[in-house]
Amino acid sequence: MIRLGKQLEEKSRELNYSYLTAPPSRSSSLAPTHLPRLKTLSFWTSVSPLPFLQIPLPFPPLKLRLLAPAMSYSEVDASSLTLFLPRAAISPILAVTLIAFSVLWFFPGGIAWALSRAHACSIPGPSGFVSALSGSAAHRVLAGLANSHKAIDLMAFSVGFTRFVVSSHPDSAKEILQSSAFADRPIKESACELLFHRAMGFAPFGEYWRNLRRISSTHLFSPRRVTAFGERRRAIGEQMVADVRDLMAKNGAVEVKKVLHVGSLNNVMMNVFGRRYDFGKGEGSELEGLVKEGYELLGLFNWADHLPLLGWLDLQGVRKRCRSLSKRVNAFVGRIIDDHRVMGRISGGVVDGAGDFVDVLLGLEKEEKLSDADMVAVLWEMIFRGTDTVAILLEWIMARLVLHPDAQSKARSEIDAVVGNSRPVADADIVSLPYLQAIVKESLRMHPPGPLLSWARLAVHDAHVGSHFIPAGTTAMVNMWAITHDESIWAEPNEFRPERFTEEDVNILGSDLRLAPFGAGRRVCPGKAMGLATVHLWLAQLLQSFDWVPADGGVDLSERLRMSLEMEKPLVCRAVPRC
C-alpha cells in the first residue's frame, strides 16, 4: 500500500490530480480484463490521524471502471473501490467529506433518503438526484425508472434534499390517496407566494380546510349548481361552434386549443365572477395575462423547493415574479369582490341557484364566512385549476378523433340517433350517449391531464405503504400515466379503443384506482362533476356541428408536461360543417 501510495503521489504531482480514479488508457496493457463487483469503498492517505478507512457499501455491489494510470490492477483489492489521496493534495476533513458524499450519492433512493432516519428501509429506487421532475416528460421517465428498478409498487428517489416515493400500481396508489397519513400537500414556493396555501388545493388538513371542503361540496359544486350552470355551458359551447365556423371561413383550418381556451376561460369567469370578458382588450386582456402568468409559475419546476440554499438566491426569479403577480391578483379580484358586495346590498343579498361563486362566498353565514384575503385565494385557485384543464383534455380528445375517424363517426351517429337534426344537443342527452362518454374516459386514460396527479401528497406523520416505512415529511406521488399504460392492467394500453369502457363500466371519479384522473380520497378534485359535464356537452356540440379531418400538417401527439399534460404542437385541423 505504501509503495502504491508513493507511485500515485508522484503521478498526482505530475498531473495535478487531487485524487485518481481515472480509467486506464484504452491502449494500456494494465487495463483490467474484467470488472469485479465492488463491496467496499476504501480510502488511503498518509495524513495522520486517518491512515486508512474502509467503508462497507450500504447498497448492492456495483461494477465500476477504475483506477489510476501507471498502476497494476492486480495490486488493488478486487472487491473495493480505493481512493488514493496524496498527503499534499487534500485535507482529512475534505477527504472524509468526499467519501461521505460518495456513499450518500450511491444510496438507493438517493441522498435525501440516505440522510433520512429511515435509511434502512427497503424501498428500491435510483441513486443520486433524479432531475426528471424538471423535464417535460417526468411521468414517462419515472415510469421507466420504476420498471428498471422493479419498483412498480413503490419507488424511492431524491430531488435535491426532498424525499419522494412514487406509486405506479393501483393498490399502493389507493393506500396513499385514501390514507389520513397523506392528508396534506407539499407547498411549493410559488403556491405559497400566490396565496394558494389558503385555498383548498394546498391548505393544510385541519378545520380551515374542512370548512373550505364543506363550502365547496355544499355551495360551489353541488349537483344542483352543476345543473343550474347548464344553460351557461350550452351558450358558451354554441359560441365556440360559431367561432370555429368563422375561422374555417377565414383560414380554412382551426387551431383548436385557441377556441377551447377562450371558451374555457369564459366558462370559468361566468361561474366565478358572473360575467364574460373580451380577452382582446381592457380588463379581459389584463385577466388573461394574470391567468397565463400564474399558470406558468405554478407549472414551473423550482429548484429552490428542493435545495434550501437556492431559496435565498431566487436564481430562477420565481419569488420575484410571484410577489408581483400576487399584488396584481389581489387588486383585480379585490375590485370584483367589492363590486359584488355593493350589488348585493342593493339587491338585498339574495343569491339564487345560478349565482356566481363570489356571491356564494359573500352570502355565507358567520360560521363559514371567509376573509377577503381567503376569498381571493379560493377564487383564484378555481380559475387556475378550471381554465386550461377542460381545454387541454378536449384538445387531446379531438386529436384522437381526427386520427380515428371510425370512432368519430360512431359517436356522431349516436348523437344523431338520440337528438336528431331538429335541435341542438343538451346536458340531458349525455346520459343517453354512452359511447361519447367512453371516448372521454379513453382519452383520460391515454392522456391524463395530471399524469402525476399534479399536486402530490405529504406524509404528515410516519406511515406504512404496504410493508414499506415512510417517514413524516416524505412527498408521495401517484404516476397515473404509468398505471393507465400498464399492460398487466389494461389490454393493449397504447391503443385508442373507447369500446373498452362500454364493455366494462369503470368509475373514474376516484373509487377505481386503475383510472382516477381526478384523484381520490380527501383531496379528490371537488370540481370533477362540473368539469366532466362541460367536456361532455362541448364535445357533443362540436361533433354534432362538424366533421373533423386532418389539416395538411397532420396530427402530432408529442406531449409536454407543465402544470398539465399538453400537446407539444397545437392541434390544427379542418372542421367541415355538417349543414
Average pLDDT over residues 93-103: 64
| Structure letter (DSSP) for residue 218 | I
* 156 within some domain: no
Q: What is the pLDDT of residue 349?
A: 55
Which of 87, 106, 125 is the C-terminal boundary of a domain?
A: 106
Q: What is the pLDDT of residue 299?
A: 86
**For residue 265, what is its C-alpha cell?**
376561460
Which of 57, 90, 106 is the C-terminal boundary of a domain?
A: 106
Is the model's pLDDT at 541 over the cut of 50? yes
**For residue 402, what is its C-alpha cell?**
381526427
Half-sphere exposure of 195 (CA within 13 A, CB side): 22
Q: What is the pLDDT of residue 96?
A: 64
Q: What is the pLDDT of residue 81?
A: 42
Is the model's pLDDT at 223 over the cut of 60? yes
Number of domains making up the chain: 2
CATH, residue 551: 1.10.630.10
Which of 106, 122, 156 is the C-terminal boundary of a domain?
A: 106
Confidence grade of residue 173 (pLDDT, cut at 50, 70, 90): very high
* 146 within some domain: no
407 and 548 belong to one structural domain: yes
Half-sphere exposure of 21 (CA within 13 A, CB side): 14
Confidence grade of residue 78 (pLDDT, cut at 50, 70, 90): very low
Residues 90 and 92: their CA atoms lie apart, in Å, by 7
Q: What is the pLDDT of residue 455?
A: 73
Is the model's pLDDT at 415 over the cut of 80? yes
Is the model's pLDDT at 347 over the cut of 70? no
Q: What is the pLDDT of residue 311?
A: 80
- Cβ partners under 8 Å of residue 355, min gap 6: 274, 363
Q: What is the pLDDT of residue 253?
A: 97
102 and 232 belong to one structural domain: no
294 and 210 belong to one structural domain: yes
Residues 349 and 341: their CA atoms lie apart, in Å, by 8
Tell me which of 433 and 99 has the higher pLDDT. Answer: 433
100 and 191 belong to one structural domain: no
Please report the sign of the dihedral spanned by the C-alpha atoms of residue 25, residue 29, residue 35, residue 41.
negative
* 140 within some domain: no
Average pLDDT over residues 343-370: 77
**For residue 552, what is its C-alpha cell?**
395538411
Is the model's pLDDT at 63 over the cut of 90? no
201 and 323 belong to one structural domain: yes
Is the model's pLDDT at 101 over the cut of 90? no
Residues 385 and 249: their CA atoms lie apart, in Å, by 33
196 and 96 belong to one structural domain: no
Confidence grade of residue 107 (pLDDT, cut at 50, 70, 90): confident
What is the tens place of the pLDDT at every residue in 13-22? 443 333 333 3
Contact (Cβ atoms closer than 8 angstroms) between residue 244 and residue 254: yes
- Cβ partners under 8 Å of residue 324, min gap 6: none
Q: What is the pLDDT of residue 90?
A: 55
* 159 within some domain: no
What is the tens place of the pLDDT at every residue in 239-268? 999 999 999 999 999 999 999 999 999 999
What is the tens place of the pLDDT at every residue in 369-401? 999 999 999 999 888 888 889 999 999 999 999
Confidence grade of residue 110 (pLDDT, cut at 50, 70, 90): confident
* 149 within some domain: no
Q: What is the pLDDT of residue 365?
A: 84
Residue 77's domain comprises 2-106
Confidence grade of residue 406 (pLDDT, cut at 50, 70, 90): very high
* 30 within some domain: yes
Is residue 525 marked as binding? yes
* 130 within some domain: no
99 and 210 belong to one structural domain: no
Contact (Cβ atoms closer than 8 angstroms) between residue 221 and residue 529: yes
- Cβ partners under 8 Å of residue 379, min gap 6: 272, 273, 333, 357, 358, 361
449 and 554 belong to one structural domain: yes
191 and 282 belong to one structural domain: yes
CA 18 to chain centre: 42
Of 7-21, 506-520, 550-564, the one with minimum mean pLDDT is 7-21
Q: What is the pLDDT of residue 105?
A: 62
Peptide bond preceding 67: is omega within 30 degrees of 0, i.e. cis? yes
Average pLDDT over the chain, rounded to an integer? 82
CA angle 360, 530, 282 (to 5 degrees): 65
What is the share, in percent, of the chain residues with pLDDT greater than 90? 58
Residues 71 and 56: their CA atoms lie apart, in Å, by 24
195 and 331 belong to one structural domain: yes
210 and 74 belong to one structural domain: no
Residues 269 and 275: their CA atoms lie apart, in Å, by 6
Average pLDDT over residues 120-124: 74
- Cβ partners under 8 Å of residue 397, min gap 6: 439, 440, 443, 535, 539
Residue closest to 176 by CA, chosen among 448, 516, 471, 459: 459
Average pLDDT over residues 309-316: 85
Confidence grade of residue 37 (pLDDT, cut at 50, 70, 90): very low
Q: What is the pLDDT of residue 111?
A: 79
Is the model's pLDDT at 219 over the cut of 90? no
**For residue 543, what is its C-alpha cell?**
361533433
490 and 381 belong to one structural domain: yes
Q: What is the pLDDT of residue 14?
A: 41
